[in-house]
Amino acid sequence: MIKKDDIVKLKSGGPKMTVREPENGLWVCTWFVGDKMKQGLFSTEQLQVEA
């Protein structure tokens, strides 16, 4: 189960992201590319929690 502040990745690959909060049934996630913070919305089905 995904919850706020979890570290996740997309099941299809990509960077580690931090879960921020749900928005309209999707999770707001943030990650860094170099020193720039990026943000996106993802469904629970797209994400896996990092061990």
Report field, pTM of the whole predicted structure over 0.85? yes
Domain-embedded: residue 2: no
Domain-embedded: residue 1: no
Domain count, the chain: 1
Residue corresponding to tokens 């061990």:
51
User: Which domain, by its residues, includes 28?
Assistant: 7-49
Domain-embedded: residue 24: yes
Is the CB of residue 38 less than 8 Å from the CB of residue 28? no
Q: Give the Cα separation of 12 and 40 in Å (integer).
A: 15
pLDDT per residue as tens digits for the range 2-49: 999 999 999 999 999 999 999 999 999 999 999 999 999 999 999 999
Is the CB of residue 5 less than 8 Å from the CB of residue 17? no
17-23 and 47-49: which strand pairing? Answer: unpaired
pLDDT of residue 47: 98
Q: Give the Cα separation of 1 and 38 in Å (integer).
A: 23
What is the maximum alpha-carbon separation in the chain?
29
